[in-house]
């Protein structure tokens, strides 16, 4: 049964309130002053509190403020009783966390109506909290499922390390990398628009389609063909207005050539050469995101890959991380961090970048998915 806590220093008012509420079947506990009331609230976590304003030492307004600081009591309905009748007093009470305000002398009918309304609101809040917890559990389960679909690290003549941190809202990042044959390595990363289950489902659909090689095996050697076919298959008009960005590349090991296509995705960064004078090459976004217009034909570019170079491919969530000062990390600081580490001859793999992000930001959870691939061409 839901409990009601009465807090009043007046013995007569305690008895009136307790007997009235118990007479209508409510379970009532009584606090004789503000301090005792706060302790009882912490112990019993009542659904509703009826508290007098004017009490010695700790008045009802301070009781209300302290109750509102307790996370476990955040949904407790708080009724403040007082002989104060001025509008500004009511405003003060409501501004300090009171949910309702009853003037003395207390009318029994008004008290009971306020209690019934308060308990309804409390129950609604409890139901909403349960739904929220259920949704969070489902999102966590969905995040784990997406993680299970993503590839592990690849080691050999090309090393690929990947990190994926799903956002609190579940985003639409997805990536994959695998050898098409003994000489050609396919690498891609995509990011669907929006957040939530819809964005995640779209990214999984794209991942599954690519893994099924529905476009024919030869198409996967041609980044421009893959993007063009995906654009036709996933028009935003047929997917609830969702579009996606994507970077897709194929590395030819024997020729040390990388052919890539980019549909609105953040450009990759290739670092090579002597750490004292590093060569920095940005692989720009060549075309618009996928899903807007079905007739677009995407283009590919080709670059040579020097020995011992490192390529970074990432989603835009990495730029949107907030720092202690409230500003976003941004592309410039991210690039400066990579170049600084490379110039010192230090290894900068995906997990190290994310460690730096954790140091930079006070956020426990990110607003968007963060995905990062580091590709070492040995």
CATH of the domain at 322: 3.60.40.10
Is residue 127 assigned to a domain? yes
Burial of 93 per CB tally in 10 Å (0-12, 13-18, 19+)? buried
pLDDT at position 246 is 96
Residues 10 and 76 in one domain: yes
The 10s digit of each residue's pLDDT in 213-240 is 889 989 999 999 999 999 999 999 998 8
Give the CA angle between residues 315, 212, 177 to the nearest 5°. Answer: 40
Is residue 16 assigned to a domain? yes
Residues 165 and 99 in one domain: no
Q: Which residue has the higher pLDDT, 286 or 123?
A: 123
> Above 80 in pLDDT, residue 361?
no
Is residue 142 assigned to a domain? no
The 10s digit of each residue's pLDDT in 52-64 is 999 998 999 999 9
Is residue 143 assigned to a domain? no
Q: How far apart are CA 31 and CA 62, in angstroms?
A: 15
Here the CATH number for the domain that contains residue 20 is 3.40.50.2300
* Residue 287 DSSP class: B
Which of these, 54, 56, 50, 66, lies nearest to 14 by C-alpha position? 50
| pTM score of the predicted model | 0.74
Which among 133, 158, 187 is the end of a domain? 133
In percent, the amount of the chain with pLDDT more than 70 equals: 93
Residue range 239-261: mean pLDDT, rounded: 95
Mean pLDDT computed over every residue of the chain: 88
Residues 220 and 320 in one domain: yes
Residues 38 and 124 in one domain: yes
Q: Which residue has the higher pLDDT, 228 or 287?
A: 228
pLDDT at position 185 is 98
Helix (H) or strand (E) holding 227: helix 223-233
Residues 43 and 181 in one domain: no
> Above 90 in pLDDT, residue 176?
yes
Residues 84 and 112 in one domain: yes
Is residue 144 assigned to a domain? no
Distance of CA 370 to the CA centre of its chain: 10
Domain count, the chain: 2
Residue range 253-260: mean pLDDT, rounded: 96
Residues 47 and 93 in one domain: yes
Contact 174, 204 (CB under 8 A): yes
Contact 377, 313 (CB under 8 A): no
Is residue 145 assigned to a domain? no
Contact 21, 2 (CB under 8 A): no
Which among 85, 108, 133 is the end of a domain? 133
The 10s digit of each residue's pLDDT in 106-151 is 899 999 999 999 999 999 999 999 999 998 888 888 888 888 899 9
Residues 161 and 100 in one domain: no
Residue range 236-263: mean pLDDT, rounded: 95
Is residue 140 assigned to a domain? no
Residues 369 and 304 in one domain: yes
Enclosing domain of residue 258: 150-377
Quote the tokens at residue 259: 């052919």
Is residue 291 assigned to a domain? yes
Residues 363 and 263 in one domain: yes
Q: How far apart are CA 157 and CA 73, in angstroms?
A: 58
Q: Which residue has the higher pLDDT, 253 or 85?
A: 253
Which among 133, 165, 196 is the end of a domain? 133
The 10s digit of each residue's pLDDT in 69-78 is 999 999 999 9
DSSP3 helix / strand / coil % (the chain, rounded to 5): 40, 25, 35
The 10s digit of each residue's pLDDT in 150-171 is 998 999 999 999 988 777 667 7
- What confidence category does residue 324 fall into, taking pLDDT thresholds of 50, 70 and 90? low
Residues 122 and 154 in one domain: no
Residues 107 and 191 in one domain: no
Q: 3-class DSSP state for residue 84?
A: coil
Q: How far is CA 152 from CA 73, 129, 168, in A?
A: 44, 36, 23
Compute the chain's Rg from CA coordinates: 30
CA torsion angle 285 286 290 292 (round to 10): 120
> Above 80 in pLDDT, residue 363?
no
């Amino acid at each position: 049964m839901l409990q009601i806590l009465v807090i009043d220093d007046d013995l007569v008012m305690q008895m009136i309130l307790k007997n009235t509420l118990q007479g209508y079947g409510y379970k009532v506990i009584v606090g004789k002053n503000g301090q005792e009331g706060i302790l009882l609230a912490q112990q019993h976590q009542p659904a509703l509190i009826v508290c007098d304003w004017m009490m010695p030492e700790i008045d009802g307004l301070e009781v209300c403020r302290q109750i509102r600081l307790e996370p476990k009591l955040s949904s407790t309905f708080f009724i403040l009783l007082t002989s104060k009748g001025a509008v500004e007093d009511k405003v003060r009470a409501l501004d300090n966390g009171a949910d309702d305000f009853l003037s003395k002398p207390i009318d029994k009918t008004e008290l009971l109506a306020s209690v019934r309304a308060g308990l309804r609101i409390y129950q609604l809040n409890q139901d909403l909290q349960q739904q929220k917890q259920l949704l969070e559990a489902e999102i966590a389960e969905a995040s784990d499922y997406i993680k299970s679909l993503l590839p592990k690290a690849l080691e050999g003549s090309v090393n690929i390390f990947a990190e994926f941190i799903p956002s609190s809202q579940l985003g639409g990042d997805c990536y994959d990398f695998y050898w098409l044959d003994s000489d050609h390595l396919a690498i891609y990363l995509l990011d669907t628009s929006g957040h939530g289950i819809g964005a995640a489902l779209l990214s999984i659909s794209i991942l599954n389609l690519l893994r099924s090689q529905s476009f024919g095996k030869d198409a996967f050697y041609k980044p421009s063909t893959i993007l063009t076919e995906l654009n036709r298959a996933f028009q935003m008009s047929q997917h609830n207005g969702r579009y996606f960005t994507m970077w897709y590349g194929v590395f030819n090991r024997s020729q040390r050539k990388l052919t890539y296509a980019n549909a609105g995705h953040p450009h990759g960064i290739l670092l090579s050469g002597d750490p004292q004078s590093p060569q920095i090459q940005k692989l720009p976004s060549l075309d618009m995101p996928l899903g807007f217009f079905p007739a677009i034909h995407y283009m590919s570019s080709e670059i040579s890959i020097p020995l011992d170079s490192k390529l970074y491919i990432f989603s835009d969530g990495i730029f949107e991380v907030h720092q202690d000062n409230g500003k976003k990390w941004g592309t410039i600081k991210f690039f400066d961090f990579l170049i600084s580490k490379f110039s010192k001859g230090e290894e900068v793999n995906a997990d190290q970048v994310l460690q730096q992000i954790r140091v930079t930001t006070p956020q426990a959870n990110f607003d968007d998915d963060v995905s990062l691939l580091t590709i070492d061409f040995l």
